[in-house]
Amino acid sequence: MSHDLGALFDPKGVIITGVSNHPGKFGFVTLHNLIASGYQGEIFPVGREPGEVLGRSVLGSIDEVPDGAADMVFICTPQAVNEELLRAAAARGVRAAFFAAAGYREAGPEGVEAERRLVALADELGVALAGPNGQGVVSTPSQMCAQIVAPYAPAGRIAVASQSGNFVSSFLNLAHHTGVGVSRAVAAGNAAALGIADYVEWFADDPETDVCLVYMESVDDGREMFERLRAVAERKPVVVVKGGASDAGARAAASHTGALASDDAVFDGMCRQAGLIRARDVEEGFEAAATLATQPLPQGNRVVVVTTVGGWGVAAVDAMADTRLTAVALPDDLYAAIDEKLPPRWSKNNPIDMAGGETRDTVPEILELAAAHPDVDGVLFLGLGIQSNTASMLREGGFYPDHGLERIVGFHERQDARYAEAAAEIAARTGTPVLIATELANARPDNAGPAAVRAAGRMCHASAGRAIRSLDLMARYANWRRARGL
């Protein structure tokens, strides 16, 4: 059964415990982050010392919160007082509690007992219990950054659930960097009551979320998790990054099968069976999620690579060797149509190397021809930003804007922006993903090319290999769905 986590992710009001004037304390930082992110609900700081913090009056007790004005409590206080605080919060109408507080299971046998009591109490009070020992919860639809650390992130369609707070930060940082934002993010902490599967099930019903992104290390009830995540994967893509994936070791097993059953091999098989999109590391996981959130799903494995010049296309095809993707031989009609648009020196092959022969409209036209072709399931465009890179040197070289530089710089930058916009528009219209890769995404993110990709709400991959990997993971998920009639 899916828990109702509406009060956790979209609370109408938040109580924060442990608030003081010390800017190093978790209560202070959480209050700061909540205000700074623009949270519009009511905020009720509660602390031992009366007065004001960050311009908000601090209540001496949760009992002073008006009845029903807050439905979430964020707990930053020491373990010993928290059961009492949870009772008081529930009495004011709180339905969800995020426990950043530590001192539970991670703290030894007494903590284990305290955690057991906490779970029982939350059950009795009917409060959804997140944490303890967790970093916090982020929800962009509610402009809410309820976290004991940074960062907040731009709004988007990716929901994150992580067994590690650090990795929530990693994903949010990557959201900043790429501009592809998140809807929700939660650190499960000790996951005393709510675990990864509970959050992901809620995301499956969440209209603000298109893709779930999970970081996990341990699996308690593997069989149950498998069933629950598979049910979610049938509805929305679930990208999984697994920590501790190296073979932990020697399982004493009499059989060959047992000897070959490393934890990771079994986990990997489970993911494939459940339709979970398993990524090798944090970057790959985020990029797969970002691509899924912003591109249509490919219908198959056939890819066309379009390059303006040079050897990047070769690297892209090389990257496909490790995947299920294939650089499809150009169908005759597509070949003929492209041949009409390009001078004779084009590559006559996939990758389509335009060999610098493009005129003003060629890039959008070739992308359109490739993406619209029924035998093409995905397009990768390489070479975005070259013109703007030239333009930036012309801008900065000491001769701008004279000698005709202003006009050509403007032209180059408009062209790159146009290519990025065309790629987004063509993908949306044809239903074929059109990915873009250039190292300028990292090297010069202000370049008009990557900047326009970002403005279109899309992921600009930093290399062809990384774009291919994202496309491969998408295609695998699409194949999993298709094989099951989904």
Partner 1 sequence: MSITLSEAESRRVVAGHGVPVSPFVTGTSTDEVIAAVATDDTVAYPVVAKLCGRAIAHKTERGLVRLRLGDEDALRQACDDLLAAARPDDGDVEVLVSTMVDGNRELIAGLNDDPQFGLTIMVGVGGILAEAIRDVTFRLVPISEVDAAEMIDDLGTQRLLDEFRGEPAVDRAALIEALVALAAVGEQEAGVRSIDLNPLIIVEGKPVAVDALVELDEAAAEVSR
The binding site for partner 1 (CB under 8 A) comprises: 219, 222-223, 226, 251, 253-261, 263, 265-270, 272-273, 480, 483-484
Residue located via tokens 């009795």: 124
The nearer residue to partner 1, 80 or 253, going by C-beta atoms, is 253
C-alpha 314, offset from chain centre = 29
DSSP state of 92: T
Cβ nearer to partner 1, comparing 265 with 443: 265
Going 245 to 246 to 250 to 254, the CA torsion angle's sign is positive
Tokens of 308: 């303006």
264 vs 425, beta carbon nearer partner 1: 264
Helices 464-483 and 282-294: crossing angle, nearest 10°? 60
| Cα–Cα nearest to 175, from 278, 280, 276, 293 | 293
Q: Tokens standing for 289?
A: 């999620």
| Minimum gap (Å) between residue 481 Cβ and partner 1 | 11
Residue 69 CB, nearest distance to partner 1 (Å)?
A: 44
* For partner 1, the closer CB: 275 or 296: 275
Give the C-alpha separation, 65 to 303, whole Å: 58
Nearest to 352 by CA among 335, 340, 374: 335
> Which residue number, 66 or 222, has a Cβ lying nearer to partner 1?
222
Rounded to the nearest whole angstrom, what is the least distance from the CB of residue 53 to partner 1 in the complex?
45
Nearest approach, Cβ of residue 254 and partner 1 (Å): 6
How do the residues of the chain divide into helix, strand and coil, expressed in percent and rounded to 5?
45, 20, 35
Q: Rounded CA gap, 308 and 355, in Å?
A: 6
CA angle 68, 33, 212 (to 5 degrees): 85
The minimum distance between CB 171 and partner 1, in angstroms, equals: 25
Which is nearer to partner 1, 222 or 410 (by Cβ)?
222
Structural tokens at position 278: 């398993």
Please give the Cα distance from 11 to 186 (Å, whole number): 14
How far apart are CB 283 and partner 1 at their closest, in Å? 24
Report the nearest approach of partner 1 to the CB of residue 484 (Å): 6
Return the number of the residue (76 or 191) whose C-beta is nearest partner 1: 191
